[in-house]
Chains A and B, each alone.
Chain A
């Protein structure tokens, strides 16, 4: 637990008849920039709310920097060290940028005036502007300013780049990378933008139906997965492949997503007298799509 910023064990959350989380377990090491991936309704936002004490787990336990997330007093201490940007990005519409900063500054004991000035300048926000008059991009910038200036050791971000144009999106991503590098903080980033996660994160957690399907270093993950394409003189039997995560067969060609058993699968293809065997790296998107694909659509 010592090396973990977030430590979640068998976390479950039920809303009436709906099971939002079903024994979710994962850990996020301190100093990492971790992507939190999943389909809509997979349980990402619920997990973030549980981590922040906005909702309570039905079962299981969770810790942030060793503090229990389901104890009110510890939750307040957690929020002293944790900043959050919600998916909606909504702030108080009747305030100005300056007033929002004042409220956050006064509420957060670790507020960093130097970071406030830095991001106010970087994001080109006008202090006197009404929050209700901010564009989507500027609202996101203000949210990030409020989160980054808190001097937090952990940032929980729910879809931070949703709805942003390419320029602002890039600006936000760079700000996050820079923050982790200079402030030695941890970022846990929920997103549907796989290419962004691939661009900035060093680690990912993929969940589906309230369970973690995969977690680990992004480089290890990508190094472990390969696309193997083999062409045969005749169509091979479909059930002759072990250790294959996904298989698509088109005539005499078989395309397989393989995890950890690449050499075995290649050897098996050659033993079946494949005329060509090609091994290619895969993207995070390919891995993700395969993992969260419904069972009944699998080959």
Chain B
């Protein structure tokens, strides 16, 4: 979707900045915020580039680098840690053949870590583009990855 159009959905109060950035990122192939779009947003919200950059850099959900279609974020906070979060991470690395913060060659998956996702009663937990999956085990992880690989093929 066109960035100007996304911006126009909001009035130019700075209050709407973070919401607009979400929308822009979600609608950008590669799940990230492009330089040109940030410039447009800065203009739209009457901010300097450094201010908008400071905001983008602060929040862990935003990225300035292109990422995969699906962003897998593995929770590393204590409750998930207790339930084997590091194993989950290890399995995902193996399964996807990438390291942390890398993207698979087919641009399908990016592997990240995150702090608590608020589903700790289901620990260990990860999210794929903000769908939260809990009670992870080897098989479930495999299924989830398979699910997304197929979803991609289906399209």
Do the two chains belong together in a single complex? no
